Amino acid sequence: MILAVVVCVLAFSKAAVALDNGLMRTPPMGWLAWERFRCDIDCDNDPKNCISENLFRDMADRLAEDGWKELGYVYVNIDDCWSSMDRDNNGRLQPDPKRFPGGIANLARYLHDRGLKLGIYGDLGTHTCGGYPGTTLDKIQTDAQTFADWGVDMLKLDGCYSNASYQEQGYPLMTKALNATGRPIGYSCSWPAYQGGLPPKVNYTLLGEICNLWRNYGDIQDSWDSVLNIIDWFFDNQDVLQPAAGPGRWNDPDMVSQEHFTLMCESDSIIPD
């Protein structure tokens, strides 16, 4: 099953400054592992579904060979649970050696050869939500450089195991660190989801200046109720959310499946009562 990251364009508003990395002038589209495959790391018993380089290669093949790429679905995004539990001797993140034996740079090459882009996941805090090594403030530059060296095209930076002041410092620092690598890397910030998604805690003007994309609200789950709950929240708060979006800066209602997307964006009448 193909699940796609879809950012519903709530509106194109004029003015407002966007993160100046030239990326995501239109909403990014692609595939993200979490909603379906979660933190399944049991490759011995569940080789088809575990978080491994094989899973991402398979998905890349599907996007490239089944017509998705032509429609714009070019991002193949790794979520949590990809890394080793330990950083390497130089303090750099490294993939789990058993599940990603070829390394992330090889995986990126595989995608690039097919005209696709690779997204990866990090967490601003002591640990990722799944308990893997997080990006503490002192590791921001190292991790940005590691991702750039690997040829990564997009970073989702989650916010588990940190706090409000940490996030206020860390999210803009990562913007600078990514820029300093010289590699254009799309930057997806989970920050507002940790601030309740709305002003006055969330400053959408600032987010538009430092992130290409941001998670406003809770994770989507594998259920219709969850999809409707998210749609309702975006509907209720559209007056705040709409002006925040524009080329290079997007609200992200979280990955939704292609079927969900079709229903959400094309036909109100299909949505069940």
Residues of this chain that interact with ligand NAG (CB under 6 A) are 20-22, 163, 165-166, 179, 182-184, 203, 205-206, 209
Helical axes 140-150 vs 103-113, angle rounded to 10°: 50
Which of 236, 206, 207, 234 is CA-nearest to residue 220?
234
Nearer to ligand NAG, 40 or 168 (CB): 168
The distance of closest approach from Cβ of residue 209 to ligand NAG in the complex, given in angstroms and rounded to an integer, is 6
Please, which residues bridge with residue 188 across strands?
A: 156, 213
Nearer to ligand NAG, 24 or 230 (CB): 24
d(CA 251, CA 245): 6
The distance of closest approach from Cβ of residue 231 to ligand NAG in the complex, given in angstroms and rounded to an integer, is 27
Catalytic residue among 80, 143, 158, 252: 158
Nearer to ligand NAG, 130 or 208 (CB): 208
Dihedral, 263, 266, 268, 272 alpha carbons, nearest 10: -20
The distance of closest approach from Cβ of residue 252 to ligand NAG in the complex, given in angstroms and rounded to an integer, is 19
- Positive or negative, the CA dihedral 172, 177, 181, 187 is negative
The distance of closest approach from Cβ of residue 63 to ligand NAG in the complex, given in angstroms and rounded to an integer, is 25
The distance of closest approach from Cβ of residue 80 to ligand NAG in the complex, given in angstroms and rounded to an integer, is 20
d(CA 79, CA 249): 21
Q: Is 219 annotated as catalytic?
A: yes
Nearer to ligand NAG, 172 or 218 (CB): 172
Nearer to ligand NAG, 203 or 229 (CB): 203
Q: Is 88 annotated as catalytic?
A: no
Q: DSSP for 85-149, please give it.
A: SS--TTS---B-TTT-TTHHHHHHHHHHHTT-EEEEEEEBSSB-TTSSBPB-GGGHHHHHHHHHH
**Active site positions, annotated:** 158, 219
